Amino acid sequence: MADNIKYGFGKYIWIIGVISLLGGGSLFAYLQSIGLEIECEDKVCEQGVECPINCSVYNPTYQSQYIFNHDNWKITFTPAIEDFELYAKYYGKWRFTNFTKETRFPNIKDAAKYVFVFPRRATKYFQVRVVLNSTQKIKWNFHSLDPIIVGYKYIYKNLSEQVPIYEIKNIEVKPVYYTSNATWSTGYNYTTQIITGYKTEYYKGKRIGVNAGGKTYNNPNININAKEGYLYQCFVPVGDRNWKEYPMRQFEIQKRVCELIWLI
């Protein structure tokens, strides 16, 4: 199993090196190999936006399993996910953890040497919050389970315009002497905004397609249903449809005006 995990005395698990959370040889895979039941959901996530992925670990045995991490090894991912945080549910709320001594839950005494426990006949719930930096499909190859994350991003027509560059300038008006009545005017200062040049700014125009799972679909009449995990592509303009209210219409598929593409 995992080279960076040691198991002993029937219920004690030591993390002895940097180990991944999911994937072959991971902590969750190891827990599954000793009889715990792991479930993780498949998820479609928008690139650059935090995306929560839920997992659960059920211990069906009559013996609690204790995690020890004396050297404070950090949890990683295989395949690699650069931007992520792991949370476990603690009294109904999500609490950050990475199975280190610093992130032990308050119900674990300071004198205890273990950092996490999977109680007997109980379920622990986890949430992996990831931010994908690509639209590639990630498959963890996690024993009998194969959790999948599919990244996506909409493609927009790039538009640009010239916008002025402004600068605030201080103007000094000096006193003026009038010989006609031998008086001076009052001097004063004021600020004004002047244009010193122009720059090109880019902004998103009309949506022209989507990139999902590493594939590009050049179609403006396309939508991602991240909750259900499918892509809905239409071959004719669909107007200003409210995608949240009408994500898919069966008669459009029957008439082959639109098609359904499953991403996971």
Query: CB within 8 A of 207, min separation 6: which ones?
Result: 154, 155, 156, 157, 220
pLDDT at 13 exceeding the cut of 70: yes
- Residue 159 confidence class, pLDDT cut points 50, 70, 90: confident
Output the pLDDT for position 218.
93
Distances (CA, A) of 30 to 1, 36, 37, 43, 235: 7, 9, 11, 23, 47
Domain ranges in the chain are: 5-133, 158-202
CA separation for the pair 75, 85 (Å, rounded): 10
pLDDT at 244 exceeding the cut of 80: no
Mean pLDDT of the chain: 86
Across the range 155-169, mean pLDDT stands at 86
pTM of the model: 0.75
223-233 pLDDT, tens digit each: 999 888 999 99
